[in-house]
Amino acid sequence: MIDTLAEPTLVAPEQLVIGSRGTRRFEGVEHGAAVSYFFVDNRPGEGSGLHWHPYPETWVVLEGEATFVVADRRIVATAGDTVTGPAFVPHRFTNTGDARMRLIGIHASAVIIQTDLE
């Protein structure tokens, strides 16, 4: 349960890094927040595997180009675009541009719950 009386906090990027290239994982429950997110930093050709969550996910492309596959839909998004995916629907994304791709994957949950399909 989220503590609605929690104090505001600042979480430095280096506290959230996973892997070696700057991708970060923020789980809201650890910081008194009701949402979680991934900050993704991918090179061309990199991306996520096919997976789903028991809640909706929203992606905001900050830089570059990402191709999302959500169920049977293919969506190409560039910097400034927002893409949404419903709960329980398999999805993935790939950097299909020729430069770095950065995005935020916002999880409508205080805890990231993911079922990998690949």
Per residue in 3-51, pLDDT (tens digit) is: 555 678 888 887 777 766 778 999 999 988 999 999 999 999 999 999 9
Q: Please give the mean pLDDT across all residues of the chain.
A: 92
- Nearest one of 52, 57, 91, 87 to 72, comparing CA atoms: 91
Who has greater pLDDT, 9 or 103?
A: 103
Strand partners of residue 14: none
Domain ranges of the chain: 15-116
Q: Which CATH superfamily is domain 15-116 in?
A: Jelly Rolls (2.60.120.10)
Instruction: Write b or e for each residue in 5-40: b if 16 or more Cβ atoms lie within 10 A of its Cβ, otherwise e.
Output: eeeeeeeeeeebeeeeebbbbbbbeebebeebbbbb
Backbone φ, ψ for residue 14 (5° rounding) = -65, -15
pTM of the model: 0.87
